[in-house]
């Protein structure tokens, strides 16, 4: 079942990174006069963004079924960060609908502002979720008296959150710029810049994790860490080659996707089996709640059901992406 | 009793607004795909291009609203986690299966709904119809899973009803031998517990809901045995510091294992009518929405395709309304009368004797007097008004539809006009009122006989101004979506 949850997490994160990047670049591309390209990308985005949401929901429901006490605890204290993200998701989805279906119907100015709403909400949605991820690194802001609650302002000063959020946004931009470099070579240079910035942000994030030795040591010892380093180096080299020779964009794109997936896996796996990495900051009675090795005993036996549905649906999702990306693929061939 | 007097009023209203916005939209995803697929099949049979255009327009309709509906579903899901985390925790522990299965239903919906619309010309015709059928299955599968949990919350599997004097309602529980050994069975029997028999590993009992809800409340608030209502039934004093949650977990896991981990919610006695009624509601709302759209379009542009679409949607409205009123609605009413006696009593509260007689005759059961219900079990009497407002509007909707059908199909008159917009609005209001009766009428319970509202509620509720802002935000999002659908679909020249 761990495989399932990791698949769901990785697909969610990869698709969300793509979504953030597309949301930011599409309205800007259109504004710059690249109407055909931006419309092809928007058509792709409008028909596939739901998949990102599905895998996010899958991840949440998996946690609910397998670790219900953890969800109960988080639900009782984390209203503010989750509410911020959820309200923005609703607005983001609405802006996608208005932007896509209003393509030739709004005035250019109105359409641009709808697009900007799509871009801004996409960038802000991870704010709440990454704040929760920061909390899962170290529970800064958790107050137990007079009842368990979250001091939101304190939680927002969590150094791991402050480093993780900009890193996530930069990684999204790197991904989309790398993908688009195969269509417009100038994106490769942008991708190199944002990749370099992501590496700096990554180092800052790693620095903040030193204060959580359990996670930091697991991370730097993990093969995923070294795989990520290799993939990032390859991506950089492939982009540089592409800028000079026009070759290497496929390798760069593959590396960009792998880099995002490996980074998220590394972040998740390096604190296993704890949902909150800095267990030293928790009272003893809470250790059972955050220990992910103790799952809901009633969930045993779900494997066959899970795979029986998941495999055909993953195949169907791939077919959907293949069918929808046809104009995008032909555009690449032309370029 | 006054609806506002039950705990967590503000968060109940916020949940109601969030879920209702989700439901307003998702009903269209339950019905429009079926209408689109039937239209596409009619096109394949007749090769009349008008049917293809109708199928494509209906598909555009549900694809446009689907995204925001799904986003509101995510909002509703997180709303449950954040406002009712203790309910979510218990659901996750014991009745997680339909929620887990819903992941795959949702995945089916997303993949096939989008494939149906965006890959229309990229798939062979018959494969495309199959994709449409899979989109319908995804949407209905999703509704079935969610409604099974909701049905369990209305009437949990193992609930027993009877005289209040004999401590009913009671819940069938499987108590492991290890726990039976430390309980004073005589005291429990005096408190209303019945021993129903034995199973391999323990004893089957019918436990009064009054005790069950107190134990659930104690478990959620982290109490130990000596702080709990259970303490007076425990014979071994060395267990004073054992957590109530661990006892509850042991008993509930045994109960769920015996009832069926994957089937427990589907065994709720109100499950089947609940699912049929929800899907029926989606069909009715979708049909009236399509009817109003084509009626409006036919009046503006007078095209043949709009006239055909109007007739198709009108016929669909008539059939779905008949199903909803005479089959699923009736079965739902019977199930409520039989399994939610307090709700049935509150619905009838203050009704003239003739109305009460009709209702009890239709349901085939006698109603208990509202004043006979112990105060701690009484639902709000507001549902009496909501229910009769719903019935009145539904009857008016039905009669108006019959008249429209008579004028259209028998008298061959053209009845198009903007006034048709009233039909989907009334259908949505009827649907909302029915849902409000169902949910408000479950009070004071969150899970009938198991968990009350106060226990389910978060320990850190948001301040009232946040509840107001978020509610207004959801309504604003819905309003903008409606405007978008009006601007990009209803006024669409080529549709």
**Among candidate residues B493, B123, B71, B60, the one with its CA nearest the CA of residue A100:** B60
What residues of chain A lie within 8 A of the CB of B118, using their CB? 43, 46-47, 320, 323-324
Q: Is B494 on the interface with A (CB under 8 A)?
A: no
Q: Is A65 on the interface with B (CB under 8 A)?
A: yes
φ, ψ for residue A322, nearest 5 deg: -60, -45
Inter-chain touch A298–B487, beta carbons under 8 Å: no
Instruction: Return the C-alpha torsion angle B48, B51, B56, B62, nearest 10.
Output: -170
Among chain B residues, the shortest Cα distance to A317 is held by B111
The verdict on B25 and B130 lying in the same domain is yes
The verdict on B277 and B371 lying in the same domain is yes
Q: Which candidate from B74, B93, B115 shows the least CB-CB separation from A86?
A: B74
C-alpha to C-alpha distance for B286 and B143, rounded to whole angstroms? 15
The verdict on B146 and B203 lying in the same domain is no
Q: Which candidate from A48, A57, A87 shows the least CB-CB separation from B473?
A: A87
Domain assignment present for residue B8? The answer is yes
- How much is the pLDDT for B302? 76
ipTM of this predicted complex?
0.92
In terms of DSSP bridges, do strands B170-176 and A149-150 run parallel, antiparallel, or are they unpaired? unpaired
Q: Is the sign of the CA dihedral B280, B282, B285, B288 positive or negative?
A: negative
Instruction: Return the C-alpha torsion angle B450, B453, B457, B461, nearest 10.
Output: 180
C-alpha to C-alpha distance for A41 and B27, rounded to whole angstroms? 30
Q: Report cis status (omega within 30 of 0) of the bond before B371.
A: no
Q: Is A315 on the interface with B (CB under 8 A)?
A: no
Host domain of residue B239: 160-263
B-interface mutation test, from A57, A78, A114, A148, most B Cβ less than 10 A away: A57
Q: Which candidate from B67, B89, B96 shows the least CB-CB separation from A93?
A: B67
- How much is the pLDDT for A313? 94
Whose tokens are 């949910």? That residue is: B439
Domain assignment present for residue B56? The answer is yes
Please report how the helices A303-324 and A326-334 are oriented relative to each other, as an axis angle in degrees rounded to 10.
Answer: 50
Query: Residue B157: how many CA atoms within 13 Å on its side-chain side?
Result: 22
How many interface pairs between A and B have CB atoms less than 8 angstroms apart? Answer: 201
Inter-chain touch B92–A72, beta carbons under 8 Å: yes
The verdict on B230 and B360 lying in the same domain is no
Region of B364 on the Ramachandran plot (φ > 0 left; ψ -120 to 50 alpha; else beta)? left
Q: Is A19 on the interface with B (CB under 8 A)?
A: no
In terms of DSSP bridges, do strands B194-199 and B202-208 run parallel, antiparallel, or are they unpaired? antiparallel
The verdict on B85 and B189 lying in the same domain is no
Region of A282 on the Ramachandran plot (φ > 0 left; ψ -120 to 50 alpha; else beta)? beta
Q: Which candidate from B67, B93, B97 shows the least CB-CB separation from A50?
A: B67
Q: Is B419 on the interface with A (CB under 8 A)?
A: no
Give A301→chain B minimum CA distance, Å: 10
Give A62→chain B minimum CA distance, Å: 7
Give B116→chain A minimum CA distance, Å: 10
The verdict on B284 and B406 lying in the same domain is yes
φ, ψ for residue B196, nearest 5 deg: -95, -20
C-alpha to C-alpha distance for B228 and B277, rounded to whole angstroms? 40
Residues 449-478 of B with CB under 8 A from A: 458-460, 462, 466, 470, 473-474, 477
Q: What is the pTM of this model?
A: 0.94
Ranges of each domain in chain A: 2-334
User: Quick one: average pLDDT of A115-137?
Assistant: 96
Give A276→chain B minimum CA distance, Å: 18
**Among candidate residues A275, A144, A155, A278, the one with its CA nearest the CA of residue B222:** A144
C-alpha to C-alpha distance for B364 and B337, rounded to whole angstroms? 8
Give A212→chain B minimum CA distance, Å: 28
The verdict on B152 and B166 lying in the same domain is no
Inter-chain touch B104–A150, beta carbons under 8 Å: no
Q: Is the sign of the CA dihedral A17, A20, A24, A30 positive or negative?
A: positive
B246 within 8 A of A288, measured Cβ to Cβ? no
Inter-chain touch B484–A57, beta carbons under 8 Å: no
- Rg (C-alpha) for chain B, rounded Å, is 25
Measure CA B247 to chain center: 31
Give B484→chain A minimum CA distance, Å: 6
Q: Which candidate from A60, A77, A102 shows the least CB-CB separation from B460?
A: A77
Q: How far is CA B121 from CA A97, A164, A314, in A?
A: 21, 43, 22
Provide the β-strand partners of residue B204. Answer: B174, B197
Domain assignment present for residue B495? The answer is no
The verdict on B80 and B149 lying in the same domain is yes
Give B261→chain A minimum CA distance, Å: 7
Q: Which of B200, B233, B263 is the last residue before a domain boundary?
A: B263
Whose tokens are 């946004």? That residue is: A169
C-alpha to C-alpha distance for A176 and A199, rounded to whole angstroms? 16
The verdict on B428 and B295 lying in the same domain is yes
C-alpha to C-alpha distance for A80 and A151, rounded to whole angstroms? 10
The verdict on B411 and B432 lying in the same domain is yes
Average pLDDT for consecutive 10-residue bins of chain B (495 residues)? 90 97 96 98 97 96 91 92 97 97 95 94 96 98 98 98 97 97 96 97 97 97 96 95 97 97 98 98 98 92 90 98 95 96 96 94 93 96 97 97 98 93 97 97 97 97 97 96 88 67
Q: Is the sign of the CA dihedral B30, B31, B37, B41 positive or negative?
A: positive
Domain assignment present for residue B444? The answer is yes
Q: Which of 3.30.1360.70, 1.20.1630.10, 3.30.70.890, 3.30.420.40 would CATH assign to domain A2-334?
A: 1.20.1630.10
B424 within 8 A of B289, measured Cβ to Cβ? yes
pLDDT of A48 higher than 90: no
Q: Which of B263, B294, B319 is the last residue before a domain boundary?
A: B263
- How much is the pLDDT for B259? 97
Q: Is A238 on the interface with B (CB under 8 A)?
A: no
The verdict on B70 and B142 lying in the same domain is yes
**Among candidate residues B316, B312, B310, the one with its CA nearest the CA of residue B42:** B312
Counted domains in chain B: 2
Provide the β-strand partners of residue B195. Answer: B205
A95 within 8 A of A117, measured Cβ to Cβ? yes
Inter-chain touch B85–A72, beta carbons under 8 Å: yes
The verdict on B389 and B245 lying in the same domain is no
C-alpha to C-alpha distance for B397 and B423, rounded to whole angstroms? 7
End-to-end CA separation in angstroms for chain B:
50
- Rg (C-alpha) for chain A, rounded Å, is 21
Please report how the helices B85-94 and B209-220 are oriented relative to each other, as an axis angle in degrees rounded to 10.
Answer: 110
Give the CA angle between residues B448, B454, B459 to the nearest 5°: 135
pLDDT in tens, A134-165: 999 999 999 998 899 999 999 999 999 999 99
Give A105→chain B minimum CA distance, Å: 8
- How much is the pLDDT for A331? 61
A332 within 8 A of A107, measured Cβ to Cβ? no
How many beta carbons lie within 10 A of that of residue B5, not counting itself?
10
Residues 77-96 of B with CB under 8 A from A: 77-79, 81-86, 88-94, 96
Q: Which candidate from B71, B104, B256 shows the least CB-CB separation from A89?
A: B71
Q: Which residue has the higher pLDDT, A170 or A285?
A: A170
Q: Which of B245, B263, B281 is the last residue before a domain boundary?
A: B263
* Contacts with B157 (C-beta within 8 Å, 6 or more apart), sequence order: B259, B264, B265, B267, B268, B269
Confidence of residue A328 (pLDDT cuts 50, 70, 90): low
Q: Is A298 on the interface with B (CB under 8 A)?
A: yes
- How much is the pLDDT for B490? 80
Query: Residue B417: how many CA atoms within 13 Å on its side-chain side?
Result: 6
B64 within 8 A of B484, measured Cβ to Cβ? yes
The SS3 call for residue B484 is helix
Q: Residue by residue, what is the 3-state secondary structure of chain A?
A: CHHHHHHHHHHHHHHHHHHHHHHHHHHHHHHCCCHHHHHHHHHHHHHHHHHHHHHHHHHHHHHHHHCHHHHHHHHHHCHHHHHHHHHHHHHHHHHHHHHHHCCCCCCHHHHHHHHHHHHHHHHHHHHHHHHHHHHHHCCCCEECCCCCEECHHHHHCCHHHHHHHHHHHHHHHHHHHHHHHCCCCHHHHHHHHHHHHHHHHHHHHHHHHCCCHHHHHHHHHCHHHHHHHHHHHHHHHHHHHHHHHCCCHHHHHHHHHHHHHHHHHHHHHCCCCECCCCHHHCCHHHHHHHECCCCCHHHCCCHHHHHHHHHHHHHHHHHHHHHHCHHHHHHHHHC
Give B167→chain A minimum CA distance, Å: 30
What residues of chain A lie within 8 A of the CB of B481, using their CB? 94, 97
Q: Which candidate from B70, B115, B488 shows the least CB-CB separation from A102?
A: B488
């Amino acid at each position: 079942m761990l495989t399932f949850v990791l698949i769901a997490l990785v697909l969610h994160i990869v698709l969300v990174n793509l979504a953030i990047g597309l949301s930011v670049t599409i309205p800007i591309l259109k504004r710059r006069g690249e109407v055909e390209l931006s419309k092809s990308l928007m058509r792709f985005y409008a028909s596939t963004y739901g998949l990102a949401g599905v895998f996010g929901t899958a991840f949440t429901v998996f946690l609910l079924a397998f670790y219900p006490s953890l969800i109960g605890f988080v639900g009782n204290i984390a209203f503010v960060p989750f509410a911020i993200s959820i309200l923005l998701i609703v607005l983001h989805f609405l802006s996608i609908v208005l932007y896509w279906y209003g393509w030739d119907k709004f005035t250019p100015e109105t359409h641009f502002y709808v697009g900007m709403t799509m871009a801004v909400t996409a960038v802000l949605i991870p704010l709440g979720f990454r704040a929760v991820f920061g909390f899962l690194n170290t529970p800064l802001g958790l107050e137990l008296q007079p009842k368990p609650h979250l001091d939101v302002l304190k939680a927002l000063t969590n150094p791991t959150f402050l480093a993780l959020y900009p890193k996530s946004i930069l990684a999204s931009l790197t991904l989309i710029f790398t993908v688009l470099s195969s269509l417009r070579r100038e994106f490769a240079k942008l991708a190199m810049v944002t990749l370099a910035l992501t590496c700096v942000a990554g180092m800052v994030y790693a620095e903040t994790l030193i204060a959580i030795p359990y996670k930091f040591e697991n991370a730097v010892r993990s093969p995923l860490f070294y795989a990520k380093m290799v993939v990032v180096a390859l991506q950089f080299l492939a982009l540089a080659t592409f800028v000079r020779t026009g070759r290497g964009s496929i390798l760069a794109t593959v590396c960009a996707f792998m880099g995002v997936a490996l980074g998220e896996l590394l972040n998740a796996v390096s604190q296993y089996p704890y949902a909150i990495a800095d267990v030293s900051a928790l009272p003893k009675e809470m250790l059972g709640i955050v220990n992910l090795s103790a799952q809901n005993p009633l969930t045993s036996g779900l494997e066959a059901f899970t795979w029986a549905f998941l495999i055909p649906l993953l195949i169907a999702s791939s077919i959907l992406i293949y069918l929808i990306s046809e104009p995008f693929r032909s555009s690449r061939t032309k370029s | 009793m006054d609806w506002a007097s039950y705990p967590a009023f503000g968060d109940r209203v916020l949940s109601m607004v969030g879920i209702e916005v989700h439901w307003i939209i998702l009903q269209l995803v339950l019905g429009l795909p079926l209408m689109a697929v039937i239209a596409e099949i009619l096109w394949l049979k007749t090769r009349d291009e008008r049917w293809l255009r109708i199928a494509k327009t209906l598909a555009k309709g549900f694809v446009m609203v689907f995204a925001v509906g799904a986003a509101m579903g995510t909002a509703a899901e997180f709303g449950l986690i954040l406002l009712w985390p203790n309910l979510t925790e218990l659901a996750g522990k014991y009745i997680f299966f339909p929620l887990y299965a819903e992941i795959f239903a949702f995945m089916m919906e997303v993949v096939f709904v989008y494939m149906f619309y965006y890959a229309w010309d990229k798939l062979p015709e018959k494969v495309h119809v199959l994709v449409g059928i899979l989109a319908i299955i995804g949407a209905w599968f999703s509704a079935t899973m969610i409604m099974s949990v909701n049905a369990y919350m209305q009437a949990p599997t193992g609930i027993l009803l009877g005289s209040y004097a004999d401590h009913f309602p009671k819940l069938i529980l499987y108590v492991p031998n290890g726990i039976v050994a430390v309980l004073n069975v005589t005291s429990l029997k005096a408190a209303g517990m019945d021993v129903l028999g034995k199973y391999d590993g323990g004893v089957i009992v019918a436990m009064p809901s009054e005790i069950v809800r107190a134990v659930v409340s104690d478990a959620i608030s982290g109490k130990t045995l000596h702080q709990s209502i259970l303490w007076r039934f425990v014979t071994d004093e060395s267990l004073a510091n054992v957590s109530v949650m661990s006892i509850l977990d042991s008993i509930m896991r045994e109960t769920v294992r015996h009832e069926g981990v994957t089937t427990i919610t589907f065994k709720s006695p109100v499950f089947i009518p609940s699912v049929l009624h929800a899907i029926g509601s989606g069909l009715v709302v979708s049909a009236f929405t399509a009817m109003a759209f084509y009626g409006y379009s036919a009046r503006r542009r007078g095209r043949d395709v709009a006239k055909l679409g109007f007739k198709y949607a009108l016929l669909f409205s008539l059939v779905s309304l008949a199903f909803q009123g005479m089959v699923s609605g009736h079965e739902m009413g019977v199930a409520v009368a039989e399994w939610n006696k307090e709700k049935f009593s509150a619905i009838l509260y203050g009704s003239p004797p003739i109305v009460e007689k009709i209702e009890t005759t239709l349901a085939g059961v006698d109603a208990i007097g509202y004043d006979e219900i112990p105060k701690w079990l009484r639902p709000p009497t507001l549902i009496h008004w909501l229910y009769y407002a719903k019935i009145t509007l539904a009857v008016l909707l039905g009669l108006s539809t019959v008249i429209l059908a008579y004028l259209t199909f028998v008298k061959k008159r053209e009845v198009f006009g903007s006034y048709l917009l009233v039909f989907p609005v009334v259908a949505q209001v009827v649907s909302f009122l029915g849902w409000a009766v169902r949910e408000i009428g479950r009070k004071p319970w969150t899970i009938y006989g198991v968990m009350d509202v106060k226990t389910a509620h978060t320990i850190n509720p948001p301040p009232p101004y946040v509840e107001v802002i978020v509610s207004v935000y959801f309504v604003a999002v819905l309003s903008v979506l409606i405007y978008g659908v009006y601007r990009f679909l209803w006024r669409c020249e080529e549709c």
